[in-house]
Copies of this chain bind each other. A is one copy, B any other.
Amino acid sequence: MKAAIITIGDELLIGQVVDTNSAWLAEKLTELGFTITTIVTIPDEATAIKAAISSLIDKNGFIITTGGLGPTSDDITKQTLTDLYGGELVLHEESLRNIEHLFSKRGIPVTETNKKQALVPSSCLPLVNRYGTAPGMLFETKDHILVTLPGVPFEMKGIFNDELLPFLNKRLQHQKLSRVTINTFGIPESFLSDKLADFEKELKANDVKIAYLPSPSGIRIRLTSKSKDKLTFFAEELQKRLGEHVFGLNDDTLPKIVSERLRKEKKVLAVAESCTGGYLSHLITKIPGSSDIFNGGIVAYSNEIKHRVLGVPVSIMENHGAVSKETVNAMLDGVFKVYNSDIAVAISGIAGPTGATPGKPLGTTWIGVASKTKRVVKLYTFGNLREINIQRASYTALFEVLKLL
């Protein structure tokens, strides 16, 4: 089925906010088998909303909008939809209760503006929002479905997954495209495409699409096909070719896989971070339930703290520098002493933009991983961009932990 995405919001049209909702929705809908024909961004104005919807209705069986439902712009959008689909604004009890619940939890009174958010056109099927105050709405005519969701990403995603996805899965009869993503780490993209040149020819011959999705967390290789069997075959073939560089499939991420392996092996991790400044700990702890595989980390930014908290001998840092194999080794010892964990990670590097010294360019990073019996400490030279260096160092450490386990 053909589908269109409409994002509503002046902030997008002045370039203040990058529209990430569209890409998220496009991916979800494509996976459900929709073909996205158009993504359009329009202002918070009744005429623009009407024009966009009516210009897309005849070419698309499914239209989804995000934004234009904040307490401030609410009225325009809902009135417009009521004009288009008929009915009148009525109170949706469940949404009102949800709003009252949200506010009572925060211990603040519900304002009239917020109460009004529980009003929805009688012509729609309300989609309850458990993450914020504005409910989503679903309108259905004999030839199309239109869904409106709020623009705040986590609310939009929450409603989509909780309310819309079950509805669509029930409705959609047509064949879905199958996809598998092979997630790799540690091979540069240029190497990959050379290494896989002939493989890509095979794919083409079998009408299997391949896409490389590079990021500091690794390169994801996505295969898409209408045939599940072909997909399985080529996915396995690809994993054979890339060997240990493949750490997972589909939604697997290094933090997730590392956490699962640690849990399986009943091992607990602790880390000492210098240049990554807490990002590695964050990657692990943002996963629910991390407390049973992670007992903590130390952000040892200054040499003083490396010495006082982790017990790194001052002499080592004086003789070899804070960014050195010797310091990272001592940091690993410190982690074991302080946290008494099964696995230790230590990172010390020059994230930039300043701090480079002769022989130690920006991006110079020592990463050590250790168990009680095994220890690997390696030198990496990343780039000049601070944030990217922080990310690459953290993901590299996770990959090394995985290889150690």
A interface list, Cβ under 8 A from B: 10-20, 22-30, 36-43, 48, 55, 70-72, 102, 105-108, 111-114, 130-131, 133, 152, 154, 158, 179, 181, 188-191, 193-194, 209, 211-214, 220, 222, 224, 273, 276-282, 284-286, 288-291, 294-302, 304-305, 308-309, 338-339, 352-354, 361, 363, 381, 383-388, 390
Contacts and interface: CB of A to CB of B under 8 A. Distances in A.
A152 B17 contact: no
Contact of A302 (B42, B209, B291, B302): B291
B279 A282 contact: yes
29 contacts: A12-B26, A13-B39, A14-B26, A14-B36, A14-B211, A15-B22, A15-B25, A15-B36, A16-B23, A16-B27, A16-B213, A16-B220, A18-B19, A18-B23, A39-B41, A40-B41, A71-B193, A72-B189, A113-B190, A113-B194, A154-B385, A277-B281, A277-B286, A278-B279, A278-B280, A281-B282, A286-B386, A286-B387, A297-B299
Contacts of A278: 273, 278-282, 285, 297, 299
A299 B286 contact: no
Q: Copies per complex?
A: 2
Contacts of A280: 278
A250 to B, nearest CB: 11
A211 B11 contact: yes
A12 to B, nearest CB: 7
Contact of A286 (B24, B28, B179, B279): B279
A338 B72 CA distance: 47
